Amino acid sequence: MYKVLLLSVCLFFAFANAKAQEKVTMKKDSTTTDSVKPYVNQGKIAGRRAMIRSAMLPGLGQIRNGFNLYRGLKVAGIYTGAAFLTISYIDNSKQYNIFIKELEYRNKNKDNPDVDERTENPLYANTPTDRLISAKDIYRRNKQVIIFSYAGLYLLNIVEAYIDARLANFDVGDVTRIKIRPDLMNANQMYGYHSIAPGMKIAITF
């Protein structure tokens, strides 16, 4: 009787130990499943950051994408274009102010008998008023075009930074491979002879 009771107790503890090990194993498997990380599009995130940086300071997005000679030339092109636009805007504004001032002087003193000279600037003494108006309108339109060019250059800077960041994080090395090597090709056949010309052979593998 004592031996049967002892055997029953040993079987009970062995069964309980097996259940505990099974529960621990199940818990470990659940944590392993939950540790799988979702996919993150790094190119999209980098593109947004580049857009914000270029919007804050033109050229900053290109530099933060990884500075090299190509990106440095793009940044230099942005600021060179802005410099040319600024110089052009200043020159057109100066000419516009000259013509508008001359027209205002003529309009103010056209019926004044005490003023002998009908022009303020001697350079335009023989220039008709309608031509002065046309010149003034041309310079005014030039100023408007330059302002729109400023906006276009600014937006181009942002879009280019975004595209550059997306392409910098886009890897096609495992998808396609391009091999370029010199080769000899048959150009044509004349009088039974083959004409061979040097060329380049391009092979694309997927």
Query: Each residue of 79-115: pLDDT tens digit?
Result: 999 999 999 999 999 999 999 998 888 888 777 655 5
Confidence of residue 190 (pLDDT cuts 50, 70, 90): low
Q: Is the pLDDT of residue 27 over 50?
A: no
pLDDT exceeds 90 at position 171 = no
pTM of the model: 0.62
Q: What is the pLDDT of residue 128?
A: 87
- Is the model's pLDDT at 134 over the cut of 70? yes
User: How many angstroms separate the CA atoms of 88 and 93, rounded?
Assistant: 8
Residue 130, token pair as written in the block: 């309608």
Structure confidence at residue 76 (pLDDT): 95
> Which tokens belong to 110?
């056209």
Give the per-residue pLDDT at 161: 93
Check whether 174 has a pLDDT greater than 70: no
Between 43 and 72, the higher pLDDT residue: 72
Helix axis angle, 69-109 to 129-168, nearest 10°: 160
Domain range list for the chain: 42-170
- Residue 11: both structure tokens together: 């079987």
Spatial CB neighbours of 46, under 8 Å, sequence gap ≥ 6: 65, 165, 166, 168, 169
Q: Give the max Cα distance, the chain.
A: 144
What CA–CA distances, in Å, run from 44 to 23, 142, 175, 181, 195?
Answer: 42, 38, 20, 35, 52
% of the chain surpassing 70 pLDDT: 62
Residue 32 confidence class, pLDDT cut points 50, 70, 90: very low
Q: What is the pLDDT of residue 152?
A: 96
User: What pLDDT score was predicted for residue 2?
Assistant: 47
